Amino acid sequence: MTLGCLTALPVFNEARHVSRVLDEVRRSVTAAGLCRRHEILVIDDGSTDGTAELLAARGDVQVVTHAENRGYGAALLSAFDFAQRRGFGKIVTIDCDGQHEPQRIPEFFAACIDGIDLVSGSRYLQEFAGDSAPPEQRRRINQQVTAELNRRLNLSLTDAFCGFKCYRVGALAQLNITEPGYAMPLEVWVQAAAAGWRIVELPVPLIYLDEKRSFGGVLDDAHTRLEYYHLTLDRAIAAVEPGFCVETPCGVGPDLENT
């Protein structure tokens, strides 16, 4: 049995999904019985659609509220801070838009064994029955950025942007994340590689419930979004050089199917 497991969900205007997803999260972690101590945390990133009222009516989750919308990365940073301050050993992050399956949370906790710092979900590691056809533009950008990460960081990832992850909380102290938006995972990859984290990918189904879901503002333009990702990656790599690992894989492990 593992002590101190936290499941954290960043939320912004998810009134349509949040109650159902949280019910599924609660059932999944309770049935698995992996952790003697398990809590569910929701980071409400300035929702204005009634999400806050739905969360206030629940007594089975912890809530951190941002008075104003700060961004996806900022919400995850609040989750990391909560996990560190409260002494958890592992934290799973899962999106609340219905595109991740809460019943897979125990798999992520179980895969984050001793010696593993990060278990990252991958929607492209294997095919599942019923997989969605991803929006071509989004898949192309993901493939391009993933390939660039692998080339520049000497990683072997298949999915740079899956939000379903499990972190060893003790490793989070090695991160110094400054990016508050959707590109925050790129900064995590750079710093994790530089720190020599042991990383594995765990296959998850590819689910798109709303192919037209907005990133918000100018990021809905694919060219602008890709440029934003490139600028974030360049800045993150520049911040960790010159001691950056480029000769051999920086703590990257094989996928769990082969371990």
Q: Is 252 a residue whose pLDDT tops 50?
A: no
In the chain, what is the greatest distance between 2 CA atoms, to the nearest angstrom?
53
Question: Nearest-CA neighbor of 206 among 105, 93, 100, 115?
Answer: 100
How much is the pTM? 0.87
Number of separate domains in the chain: 1
Q: Which residues contact 221 (CB under 8 A, 6 or more apart)?
A: none
% residues pLDDT > 90 (the chain): 66
Two tokens, residue 115: 């010696």
Domain residues for the domain of 49 are 5-258
Name which residue leads in pLDDT, 247 or 21. 21
Which amino acid, 178?
Answer: T
Q: For residue 9, give the CATH number of its domain.
A: 3.90.550.10
Name which residue leads in pLDDT, 82 or 98. 82
Is the bond leading into 242 cis (omega within 30 degrees of zero)?
yes
End-to-end CA distance of the chain: 21
Provide the mean pLDDT of the chain.
86
Q: Is 170 a residue whose pLDDT tops 80?
A: yes
